[in-house]
Amino acid sequence: MTDTDTLLNARNLSKTFTLHTQGGVRLPVFDGLDLSLQRGQCLVLVGPSGAGKSSLLRCLYGNYLVQHGEVMVRHDGRMIDLTQATTRDLLDVRLRTLGFVSQFLRVIPRVSTLDVVAEPLLAQGCGEDDARDKASTMLARLNIPDRLWSIAPATFSGGEQQRVNIARCFVADYPILLLDEPTASLDVDNRKIVLDLITEARRRGTGIIGIFHDPQDRAAVATDTLELAAMDQAA
């Protein structure tokens, strides 16, 4: 393993929520957490509900702020600390390096499914026809019937929305993927397709940090696991 195989290196991360609207209650989620991710690795976060798995992924994406620690991400051939990055740099890292699948699709109203999926490619500078081709291929692979492509995903079923969400992320070929329960609302066939996509990406060298509820899914993709314990929230 060489130095350039390290895609992400987080050190001494601490996250505590302070709920000002509820009397300033403090919810410590994790403290002094370290993790690193190499090319071709699939690191699976495990732990009971409320342990902070989703919060950790969001901190790695810059969606949640940490109180302490650093999140070094390989971007454009150098390591950049997301906790210190300007919003502009962070947006660039998200544009080209970090893909994120949230547990639920945040639907953009009135934008067609095909456009939702093509959007990350267009933002990366891909030509319109090429972007639509790739988006179509990915939607087809994820079994979204083409009669749905021209309508907005707002009215889709939970599983269909989740597959649109996955298509949108996998279409862009990010070097690092953060996946929050991507298989949770899928049936057996679609679950298999998503697990295959993950494994293919990993074999190409993509680094993946994921959360999978189902032990079988976990076993199918994990190369490593990281255990998160619920913190004592009496503090």
Partner 1 sequence: MTDRISHNADTPLLRVDSLSKSYGPVVGCRDVAFDLWPGEVLGIVGESGSGKTTLLKCVSAQLEPDGGAVQYDTRDDGPRDVYGLSEARRRLLMRTDWGIVHQNPRDGLRFGISAGANVGERLIAVGERHYGDLRAEVTDWLERVEMDIGRMDDLPSTFSGGMQQRVQIARNLITRPRLVFMDEPTSGLDVSVQARLLDLIRMLVGTLRIACIIVTHDLGVVRLLTHRTIVMQKGEVVEHGLTDQVLDDPQHPYTQLLVSSILPV
- Return residues touching partner 1 (CB under 8 A): 17-21, 58, 62-65, 87-88, 90-91, 108-110
Q: How far is the CB of 233 from ligand ATP (least distance, A)?
A: 7
Which tokens hold the place of 110?
């009135």
Q: How far is the CB of 199 from partner 1 (least distance, A)?
A: 29
User: Which lies closer to partner 1 via its Cβ, residue 109 or residue 145?
Assistant: 109
* SS3 assignment, position 71: strand
How many CB atoms neighbour CB 130 within 10 A? 12
Q: How far is the CB of 59 from partner 1 (least distance, A)?
A: 9
**Is 53 near ligand ATP (CB under 6 A)?**
yes
What would the DSSP string read from start to end of 92-125? HHHHHTEEEE-SS--PPTT--HHHHHHHHHHHTT
Candidate ranges 3-11, 42-50, 76-84, 89-97; the one touching ligand ATP (CB under 6 A): 42-50
> How many residues in the chain?
235
The strand order across the sheet containing 25-38 reads 25-38, 6-19, 68-75, 78-81
End-to-end CA distance of the chain: 41
**Is 54 near Mg ion (CB under 5 A)?**
yes
**Could you tell which of Mg ion, ligand ATP, partner 1, none binds residue 29, using a CB distance below 5 to 8 A set by kind?**
ligand ATP
**Is 52 near ligand ATP (CB under 6 A)?**
yes
User: Which lies closer to Mg ion via its Cβ, residue 121 or residue 179?
Assistant: 179
**Is 51 near ligand ATP (CB under 6 A)?**
yes
**Could you tell which of Mg ion, partner 1, ligand ATP, none binds residue 9, using a CB distance below 5 to 8 A set by kind?**
none
The CA distance from 235 to 219, in Å, is 35
The CA distance from 36 to 135, in Å, is 31
Candidate ranges 49-57, 71-79, 82-90, 133-141; the one touching ligand ATP (CB under 6 A): 49-57
Q: Check if the beta carbon of residue 117 is closer than 8 Å to that of residue 139.
A: yes
**Could you tell which of partner 1, ligand ATP, Mg ion, none binds residue 28, using a CB distance below 5 to 8 A set by kind?**
none
Which tokens hold the place of 12?
């001494």
The CA distance from 86 to 79, in Å, is 14
Residue selected from 28, 40, 50, 159 as contacting ligand ATP according to rule CB under 6 A:
50
Q: Check if the beta carbon of residue 184 is closer than 8 Å to that of residue 213.
A: yes
Per rule CB under 6 A, count of chain residues that contact ligand ATP:
11
User: Which lies closer to partner 1 via its Cβ, residue 6 or residue 55?
Assistant: 55
